[in-house]
């Protein structure tokens, strides 16, 4: 791929809205979200119900019914996502944008060895023989730092730990060499030490392959340390967008509140500051 | 030195072939909040379940207020020891109103002043009286956990077991629940045993901390020592580094163990 | 009206009563949103009304024979024709709704709680209690329902009451099975552990905490069962072991109309249709109730 200077941004989103209509009420889960993503690591942070996961799903056209997605503009590498059919979006989703979810247990087929699943993923995206696919799969396992890929290749999903399962998921997603990876709480179900390993792998892969990454998480400090840029969501609205390195100087009271209300090993407080929510934020 | 509120010695728990807890021993002073920290599968919750009487398959010594416990507990035991569970979405009965949930222990023990007890329990955990006749699905996660705490307090226990009480909650809600627990610790002289995977939470709540790995207590330390980074075991240091934040260099040091 | 609605829909109920009424009203709103369930409800209410006011609805005496008018087709005089003994079929169906409802309700009211309790007890305790109760259940399940009912009725003597008892004794095992399976899941949940931490006895936990979680499927199950119960009762009636002859019981009416089914189809068809509509009504209502009762 030649790197021309006038290359369009990877993803452009303007005024994204996700709504759920039911007999009783209408829930406006994402309200007027806009951002542009280059080949960078963008963090989307918020508490439960902030609409962060739905944002990722809206980009992939995976919002569950009866959810409705609308936007003024949604383009991916210059292509208009809003004009595409569900089928075209599906094709795009497999080949050019992918998702890693929180719990690998639900994303892997329980009756197929993990190696075969990765190999299948390779074969689905490009023509190759079974032997070639297997080699690719072994290589992919190696690239997510699995030490004995041959052994792991023949394991079933229930035989691998959570951390390894997540690395396998990443290896599988990378089979398609997507331009955009959306990771929805990829490490939240993992122990802290394992969390770090998975993040390091994700970090390297994104850098080496020049992918764009949207990292969705509830963990503000983690996103701050891992990403380049952070969008803070609250109740479906953007409170603040800031450079990750400037997280400590966050201006919005919500961001500050989120940062302060966490117990900190470096601090000693009797009572934790409580986050006061303000209706005025949702103007 | 006064008698220990909880004294554990030589505690072992087996699940089939799995040795879930190995020779655990620690002792909790009255009025203290004692922390147990570890990752999933470390055996920390298993210890708590053995103390609570929910899991009867253990061997060793468990003493509550100096009294040796058997695997099966008499009813009166639950007036001394109570527990708050991890997930407030599953620890409250979905078909019982808050009122019923809180009245249940009162009617089990045939206590007097039921009305007053329910009202004061709600007040103690900072819930408005108007929440009393709601169902759990009409409450947020934080409010549910407050109800669960109120339920644990209504029998006026002296020991409160906390099993990851905030890990299912958003951080802003976690702060409120931790503040409530700390307030209770200071004001009511309760003894608490807090189990968590989060080092920062444990250090915030507890003075003394046991670090568990693979079923064993690898190190007993203090919150101050953790803050200063004075740790003996490699595992504790690793945990500490991972808790502080994502750092490429640190992450490189953690070799994937497969 | 709006004040009442607000009173019922508030999140801040002031009393146990208000909270209960509010819960019921919310469930009604959900049920009302389901057109099929409303059809079922309409059928069931119609059935109840017809049974209650049978003397007013019926055009003839249901047991009076008029051999001169036997096997008449539908006419202004006999809306749904007459049977082999010249009795008005419409009137017999109307009065038959009483018998049918009585059988169905008597069976369901006894079977539901018994099955639930046995299943929940087996599921909650496990071990030898489970083995014992479930083997007994298996014994009952091993025989076809009608055969077992037949054996019981011939031992107890024929008659409607004994038929009901026999059907009830053969109908509980599936309830126990379902309740047991659900209890095995519920028993591992934190709220049961929490109840144990409150010092609740096993009896209190089973009755107050476990069975409420099994009730929705028992209700659905019984709604689906009603047609089967009606048919078993009809089978017993046909063999002379259930409702005794002059009593207008739908199943027995179908059975006796069998001989004329090719020439005078209405004799068997209309009671059959009544069974069909009635079973459908209970089914639709049961399905709707499941959605309403499922815990959120």
Task: Please say if the pLDDT value at position B2 is more than 70.
Answer: no
* Residue at B258 is within a domain: no
**ipTM for the predicted complex:** 0.88
Chain C contact set for B90 (CB, 8 A):
189-191
pLDDT value at residue B244: 72
Angle of CA points C242, C246, C252, to nearest 5°: 45
Q: Would the CB atoms of B109 and C195 count as touching at under 8 Å?
A: no
* Residue at C244 is within a domain: yes
Chain A contact set for B174 (CB, 8 A):
261-262
Give me the residues of C, 236-295, that contact B with CB < 8 A.
Answer: 295
Chain B contact set for A224 (CB, 8 A):
245
Rounded Cα–Cα distance for residues B130 and A3 (Å) = 63
* Residue at B36 is within a domain: yes
Read off the pLDDT of residues A170-183 as tens digits, 9 standing for 90 and up.
888 877 778 888 88
Q: Would the CB atoms of C199 and B148 count as touching at under 8 Å?
A: no
- Domain limits at C219? 25-293
Chain B contact set for A226 (CB, 8 A):
246
What is the overall mean pLDDT for chain C? 84
B35-39, B97-101, C142-146: least confident range? C142-146
- Residue B247, chain A, CB below 8 Å: the answer is yes
Q: In chain C, which ranges are continuous DSSP H helix?
A: 2-9, 16-32, 35-52, 54-57, 89-125, 127-142, 145-156, 160-186, 190-197, 202-204, 211-238, 250-257, 266-293
Which chain A residue's Cα is nearest to B248? A200
* Residue at B198 is within a domain: yes
Task: Please say if the pLDDT value at position C242 is more than 90.
Answer: no
pLDDT value at residue B257: 46
pLDDT value at residue A24: 65
Q: Which residue has the higher pLDDT, A276 or B193?
A: B193
Q: Would the CB atoms of A192 and B242 count as touching at under 8 Å?
A: yes
* Residue at C7 is within a domain: no
Closest Cβ opposite residue B90 in set C13, C18, C189: C189
pLDDT value at residue B246: 63
pLDDT value at residue A4: 44
How is residue C165 written in tokens? 């008892």
Which chain C residue's Cα is nearest to B148? C194
- Residue B153, chain C, CB below 8 Å: the answer is no
Read off the pLDDT of residues C14-48 as tens digits, 9 standing for 90 and up.
787 888 888 888 888 888 888 898 998 999 899 99
Closest Cβ opposite residue B135 in set C23, C190, C199: C23
- Residue C189, domain CATH: 1.10.3720.10
A27-41, B136-150, C127-141, C238-252: least confident range? C238-252
- Helix (H) / strand (E) element for A252: namely none
Task: Sketch the domain layout of chain A as residue ranges.
Answer: 34-63+84-96+178-283, 105-175
Read off the pLDDT of residues B55-112 as tens digits, 9 standing for 90 and up.
888 999 999 998 999 888 898 999 999 999 988 888 999 889 899 999 999 999 999 8
Sign of torsion over alpha carbons A187, A192, A194, A197: positive
- Helix (H) / strand (E) element for A14: namely strand A11-21
Which chain B residue's Cα is nearest to A203? B248
Closest Cβ opposite residue B258 in set A147, A221, A261: A147
- Give the pLDDT mean for C155-183: 86
Backbone phi and psi for residue A182, each to the nearest 5 degrees, phi listed first: -110, 120
In the predicted model, residues of chain A with pLDDT beneath 70 are: 1-7, 23-24, 283
Q: Would the CB atoms of C19 and B94 count as touching at under 8 Å?
A: no
pLDDT value at residue A1: 42
* Residue at C40 is within a domain: yes
Task: Please say if the pLDDT value at position C10 is more than 80.
Answer: no
Read off the pLDDT of residues C83-116 as tens digits, 9 standing for 90 and up.
777 788 888 889 888 888 888 888 888 888 899 9
pLDDT value at residue A186: 82
Query: Tokens 């089978």 sit at which residue?
Result: C235
* Residue at B42 is within a domain: yes
Q: Within 10 Å of residue B15's Cβ, how many Cβ atoms?
A: 11
pLDDT band with cut points at 50, 70 and 90 for residue C265: confident
Residue A261 makes CB contacts below 8 A (sequence gap 6+) with A272, A273, A274, A275, B171, B172, B174, B175
- Domain limits at B141? 6-253
Closest Cβ opposite residue C197 in set B52, B93, B97: B52
A125 vs A96, A119, A181, B146, CA distance in Å? 10, 10, 16, 50
Closest Cβ opposite residue B248 in set A161, A203, A220: A203
CATH superfamily, domain at A34-63+84-96+178-283: P-loop containing nucleotide triphosphate hydrolases (3.40.50.300)
- Residue B87, chain A, CB below 8 Å: the answer is no
pLDDT value at residue C78: 75
pLDDT value at residue A128: 81
Q: Interhelix angle for C266-293 vs C211-238, to 10°?
A: 170
* Residue at B208 is within a domain: yes
Q: Would the CB atoms of C208 and B104 count as touching at under 8 Å?
A: yes
Which chain B residue's Cα is nearest to C21? B133
**Touching partners of C (3+ C-beta pairs < 8 Å):** B
- Residue A221, chain B, CB below 8 Å: the answer is yes
Rounded Cα–Cα distance for residues C84 and A148 (Å) = 84
- Residue B44, domain CATH: 3.40.50.300
Sign of torsion over alpha carbons B231, B233, B237, B243: negative
Chain B contact set for C16 (CB, 8 A):
97, 99, 133
Distance from CA of B210 to the nearest CA of C (A): 25
Task: Please say if the pLDDT value at position B1 is more than 80.
Answer: no
pTM: 0.83
Read off the pLDDT of residues B136-164 as tens digits, 9 standing for 90 and up.
888 888 899 999 999 999 999 999 999 99
- Residue B234, chain A, CB below 8 Å: the answer is no
Rounded Cα–Cα distance for residues A181 and A213 (Å) = 5
Read off the pLDDT of residues B237-254 as tens digits, 9 standing for 90 and up.
888 887 776 665 555 555
Q: Would the CB atoms of A193 and B256 count as touching at under 8 Å?
A: no
What percentage of chain C carries pLDDT values higher than 90? 18
* Residue at B110 is within a domain: yes
Chain A contact set for B171 (CB, 8 A):
47, 218, 220, 258, 261-262
* Residue at B102 is within a domain: yes
* Residue at B13 is within a domain: yes
Give me the residues of A, 168-207, that contact B with CB < 8 A.
Answer: 191-197, 199-200, 203
pLDDT value at residue B36: 94
- Residue B182, chain A, CB below 8 Å: the answer is yes
**Touching partners of B (3+ C-beta pairs < 8 Å):** A, C
Candidates C96, C138, C115, C116; CA nearest to C230 is C96
Q: Quickly count helices (H) and strands (E) in chain A.
A: 9, 11
Q: Would the CB atoms of B170 and A218 count as touching at under 8 Å?
A: yes
Q: How many domains does chain C have?
A: 1
pLDDT band with cut points at 50, 70 and 90 for residue C296: very low
Closest Cβ opposite residue B95 in set C193, C200, C212: C212
Q: How many domains does chain B have?
A: 1
């Amino acid at each position: 791929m030649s790197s021309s200077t006038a290359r369009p941004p990877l993803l452009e989103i303007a005024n994204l809205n996700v709504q759920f209509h039911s007999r009783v009420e209408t829930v406006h889960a994402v309200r007027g979200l806009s951002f542009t993503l280059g080949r960078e690591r963008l963090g989307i942070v918020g508490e439960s119900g902030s609409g962060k996961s739905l944002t990722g799903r809206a980009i992939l056209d995976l919002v569950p019914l009866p959810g409705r997605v609308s936007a003024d503009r949604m383009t991916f590498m210059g292509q208009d996502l809003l004009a595409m059919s569900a089928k075209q979006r599906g094709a795009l989703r497999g080949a050019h944008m992918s998702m890693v979810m929180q719990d690998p247990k639900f994303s892997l087929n329980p009756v197929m060895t993990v190696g075969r699943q990765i190999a299948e993923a390779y074969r689905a995206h490009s023509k190759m023989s079974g032997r070639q696919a297997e080699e690719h799969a072994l290589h992919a396992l190696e690239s997510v730092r699995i030490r004995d890929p041959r052994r792991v290749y023949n394991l079933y999903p229930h035989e691998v730990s959570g951390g390894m399962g997540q690395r396998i998921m990443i290896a599988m997603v990378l089979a398609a060499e997507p331009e955009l990876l959306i990771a929805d709480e990829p490490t939240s179900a993992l122990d802290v030490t394992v969390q770090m390993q998975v993040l390091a792998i994700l970090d390297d892969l994104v850098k080496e392959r020049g992918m764009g990454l949207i990292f969705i998480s509830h963990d503000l400090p983690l996103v701050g340390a891992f990403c380049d840029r952070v969008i803070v969501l609250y109740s479906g609205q953007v409170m603040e967008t800031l450079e990750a390195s400037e997280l400590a100087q966050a201006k919005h009271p919500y961001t500050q509140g989120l940062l302060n209300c966490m117990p900190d090993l470096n601090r000693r407080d009797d009572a934790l500051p409580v986050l006061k929510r303000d209706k005025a934020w949702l103007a | 030195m006064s008698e220990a509120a909880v004294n554990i010695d030589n505690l072992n728990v087996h699940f089939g072939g799995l040795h879930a807890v190995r020779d655990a021993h620690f002792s909790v002073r009255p009025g203290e909040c004692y922390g147990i920290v570890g990752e999933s599968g470390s055996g920390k919750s298993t210890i708590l379940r053995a103390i609570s009487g929910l899991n009867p398959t253990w061997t060793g010594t468990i003493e509550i207020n100096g009294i040796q416990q058997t695997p099966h507990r008499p009813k009166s035991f639950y007036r001394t020891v109570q527990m708050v569970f991890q997930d407030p979405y599953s620890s409250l009965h979905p078909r019982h109103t808050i009122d019923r949930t809180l009245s249940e222990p009162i009617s089990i023990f045939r206590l007097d002043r039921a009305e007053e007890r329910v009202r004061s329990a709600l007040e103690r955990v900072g819930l408005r009286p108007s929440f009393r006749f709601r169902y759990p699905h009409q409450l947020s996660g934080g409010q549910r956990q407050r109800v669960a705490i109120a339920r644990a307090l209504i029998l006026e226990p002296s020991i409160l077991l906390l099993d990851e009480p905030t890990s299912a909650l958003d951080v802003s809600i976690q702060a409120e629940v931790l503040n409530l627990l700390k307030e209770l610790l200071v004001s009511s002289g309760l003894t608490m045993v807090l189990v968590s995977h989060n080092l920062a939470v444990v250090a915030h709540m507890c003075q003394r901390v046991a670090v568990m790995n693979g079923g064993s207590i690898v190190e007993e330390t203090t919150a101050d020592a953790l803050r200063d980074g004075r740790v003996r075991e490699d595992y504790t240091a690793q945990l500490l580094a991972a808790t502080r934040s994502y750092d490429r260099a640190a992450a490189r040091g953690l070799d994937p163990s497969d | 009206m709006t004040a009442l609605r607000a009173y019922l829909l508030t999140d801040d109920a002031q009393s146990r009563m208000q909270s209960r009424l509010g819960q019921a009203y919310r469930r009604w709103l959900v049920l009302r949103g389901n057109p099929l369930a409303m059809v079922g409800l309409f059928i069931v209410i119609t059935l109840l009304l017809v049974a209650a006011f049978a003397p007013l609805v019926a055009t003839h005496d249901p047991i009076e024979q008029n051999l001169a008018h036997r096997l008449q087709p539908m006419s202004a005089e006999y809306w749904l024709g007459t049977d082999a003994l010249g009795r008005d079929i419409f009137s017999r169906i109307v009065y038959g709704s009483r018998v049918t409802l009585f059988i169905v309700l008597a069976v369901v009211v006894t079977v539901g709680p018994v099955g639930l309790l046995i299943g929940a007890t087996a599921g909650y305790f496990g071990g030898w209690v489970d083995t014992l109760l479930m083997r007994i259940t298996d014994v009952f399940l091993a025989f076809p329902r009608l055969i077992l009912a037949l054996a019981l009725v011939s031992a107890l003597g024929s008659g409607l009451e004994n038929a009901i008892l026999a059907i009830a004794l053969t109908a509980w095992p599936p309830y126990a099975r379902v309740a047991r399976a659900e209890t095995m899941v519920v028993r591992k949940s934190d709220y049961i552990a929490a109840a144990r931490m409150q010092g609740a006895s096993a009896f209190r936990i089973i009755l107050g905490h476990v069975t409420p979680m099994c009730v929705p499927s028992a209700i659905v199950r019984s709604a689906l069962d009603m047609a089967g119960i009606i048919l078993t009762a009809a089978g017993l009636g046909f063999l002379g072991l259930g409702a005794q002859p002059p009593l207008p019981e739908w199943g027995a009416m179908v059975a006796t109309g069998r001989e004329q089914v090719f020439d005078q189809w209405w004799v068997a068809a209309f009671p059959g249709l009544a069974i069909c509509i009635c079973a459908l009504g209970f089914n639709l209502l049961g399905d709707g109730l499941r959605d309403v009762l499922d815990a959120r």
